[in-house]
């Protein structure tokens, strides 16, 4: 006899990317930052007094929220700190979406979204992206007509790297009747010269939330720290009602605050990732593996049929050589590999092994 709710019984859990424990594997499969976090993290850990753990941590991580608010030019009550971006997604769904209500998203999208919808027993509406990965022209009409309570958009998009500009986000927030979550997990890797910045929209729309994480841009995936930015009317119910009491331990709050304060270090890693992204996409194109323009820290690389080996076989071949990339066995992605940008050494190893695996022309 099973005690699981029916929707839980029916669903599959989230399939995390492989996390090998050996040091020799080149890990280009889960979009981690290849460079170390700011040395300030080490400083926080060295200075940390374990006796401080005797007490509960600050419940709403206000020191962190103040640093995030100053960084983004918003107020403290526009920020909620969460255990990774993933906790924010769960909070948004439990706070704003009744079980049975529709959740809208694109296809493809971040594969955790459908899983979280199923946990809440919500049907999903997946609207296919256009061939160039842009949103369907009638995306908002479709979402409104279907009566969705929440729309989840990754920007820059995963797994394609496609970027929607601020004007598009503003027009979506204006048109949609639902809450709109713009998941900016990868926004730090957008080239600053294009001046992409959507955060002033927070003060214009009461249905708009942004997700940020320290996992990618701040090299702290192991810490599990993210945050949400939005109108106080959206942030407050999550902060005061649906958040777990003491959702963030004291040490992570201190580390995350120090990391966010060292913008100079983080920006240097973003710049290095962008330079490597450019180099890698050109070198891959030289061997017949093209990718669409990416504003994130990964490339979605097409493996053309004419090249004589499938994306799945290339993934396996690389894995045998201790290089992990991501292959999604789903429509429109099964002929592609999603490759995280590594250090220049890692990228060179990847290229060398790909060249060996590709059949001679
Ligand atoms: C699109 C997207 N959103 C959110 C997250 C959540 O990241 P985290 O929970 O590590 O902050 C990820 C992680 O891979 C992601 O790819």
Mutate to test the pocket of ligand 1, among 84, 163, 340 (most ligand atoms within 8 A of CB): 84
Residues 117, 246 share a domain: yes
Q: Which residue has the tokens 């709403």?
A: 60
Domain boundary among 261, 283, 311: 261
What atom of ligand 1 comes closest to residue 30's alpha carbon? 14
Centre of ligand 1 to C-alpha 86, Å, is 6
What atom of ligand 1 comes closest to residue 226's alpha carbon? 11
Residues 334, 227 share a domain: no
Mutate to test the pocket of ligand 1, among 30, 82, 213, 340 (most ligand atoms within 8 A of CB): 213
Q: Which residue has the tokens 């841009």?
A: 217
If one counts the domains in the chain, the total is 2
CA distance 274 to 351: 17
Residues 54, 99 share a domain: yes
Burial of 244 (0-12, 13-18, 19+ CB in 10 A): exposed
Residue list, ligand 1 pocket, CB within 6 Å? 31, 84-86, 110, 154, 158, 183, 185, 213, 215, 221, 226
115 domain residue, yes or no: yes
6 domain residue, yes or no: no
What pLDDT score does 361 carry?
60
What is the H or E stretch that residue 337 is in? strand 336-340
10 domain residue, yes or no: no
Name the residue range of residue 220's domain: 39-261
What atom of ligand 1 comes closest to residue 31's alpha carbon? 14
Look up the pTM and report it: 0.97
Residues 271, 157 share a domain: no
66 sits in the region (left: phi over 0; alpha: psi -120 to 50; else beta) called alpha
CA atoms within 13 A on the CB side of 65: 21
Is-contact 309 337, C-beta < 8 A?
Answer: no
Mutate to test the pocket of ligand 1, among 158, 159, 160 (most ligand atoms within 8 A of CB): 158
Residues 271, 228 share a domain: no
What atom of ligand 1 comes closest to residue 88's alpha carbon? 9
Residues 289, 252 share a domain: no
Domain boundary among 261, 281, 313: 261
Q: Please, which contacts does 330-337 make with residues 24 or more away whose CB atoms are closer than 8 Å?
A: 330/108, 332/108, 333/108, 333/159, 333/300, 335/302, 335/303, 335/304, 335/305, 335/310, 335/311, 336/300, 336/301, 336/302, 336/303, 336/311, 337/300, 337/301, 337/303, 337/311
What atom of ligand 1 comes closest to residue 109's alpha carbon? 1
What's 71's domain CATH number? 3.40.640.10
Centre of ligand 1 to C-alpha 85, Å, is 6
Domain boundary among 243, 261, 279: 261
CA distance 177 to 150: 9
Q: Which residue has the tokens 């206000």?
A: 62
12 domain residue, yes or no: no
What pLDDT score does 44 carry?
98
- Output the residue whose Cα is nearest ligand 1's atom 13: 185
Residues 88, 147 share a domain: yes
Residues 336, 193 share a domain: no
* pLDDT in single tens digits along all 361 residues of the chain: 889 999 999 999 998 888 888 888 999 999 999 999 999 999 999 999 999 999 999 999 999 999 999 999 999 999 999 999 999 999 999 999 999 999 999 999 999 999 999 999 999 999 999 999 999 999 999 999 999 999 999 999 999 999 999 999 999 999 999 999 999 999 999 999 999 999 999 999 999 999 999 999 999 999 999 999 999 999 999 999 999 999 999 999 999 999 999 999 999 999 999 999 999 999 999 999 999 999 999 999 999 999 999 999 999 999 999 999 999 999 999 999 999 999 999 999 999 999 999 997 6
């Amino acid at each position: 006899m099973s005690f699981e709710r029916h929707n839980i019984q029916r669903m599959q859990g989230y399939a995390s990317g492989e996390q090998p424990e050996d040091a020799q594997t080149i890990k280009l499969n889960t979009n981690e930052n290849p460079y170390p976090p700011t040395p300030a993290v080490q400083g926080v850990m060295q200075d940390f007094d374990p006796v401080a753990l005797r007490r509960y941590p600050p419940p709403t991580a206000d020191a962190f929220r103040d640093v995030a608010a100053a960084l983004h030019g918003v107020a403290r009550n526009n920020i909620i700190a969460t255990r990774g971006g993933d906790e924010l997604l769960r909070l948004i769904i439990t706070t704003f979406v009744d079980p049975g209500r529709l959740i809208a998203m694109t296809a493809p999208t971040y594969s955790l979204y459908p899983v979280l919808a199923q946990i809440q027993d919500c049907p999903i509406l997946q609207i296919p992206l256009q061939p160039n990965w842009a949103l369907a022209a009638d995306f908002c009409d479709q979402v409104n007509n279907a009566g969705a309570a929440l729309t989840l958009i990754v920007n820059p998009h995963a797994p394609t790297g496609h970027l929607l500009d601020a004007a598009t986000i503003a027009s979506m927030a204006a048109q949609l009747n639902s809450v709109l979550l713009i998941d900016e997990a990868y926004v730090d890797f957008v080239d600053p010269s294009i001046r992409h910045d959507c955060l002033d929209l927070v003060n214009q729309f009461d249905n708009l939330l942004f997700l940020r994480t320290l996992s990618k841009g701040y090299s702290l995936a192991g810490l599990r720290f993210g945050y949400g930015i939005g109108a106080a009317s959206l942030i407050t119910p999550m902060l005061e009602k649906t958040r777990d009491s003491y959702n963030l331990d004291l040490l992570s709050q201190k580390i995350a605050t120090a990391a966010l304060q060292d913008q100079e270090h983080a920006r240097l890693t973003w710049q290095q990732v962008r330079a490597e992204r450019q180099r890698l996409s050109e070198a891959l194109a030289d061997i017949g593996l093209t990718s669409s323009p990416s504003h994130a820290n990964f490339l979605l690389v097409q493996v053309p049929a004419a090249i004589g080996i499938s994306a799945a076989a290339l993934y396996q071949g690389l894995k045998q050589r201790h290089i992990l990339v991501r292959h999604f066995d789903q429509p429109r992605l099964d002929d592609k590999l999603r490759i995280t940008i590594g250090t220049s050494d890692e990228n060179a190893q990847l290229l060398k092994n790909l060249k060996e695996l590709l059949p001679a022309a």
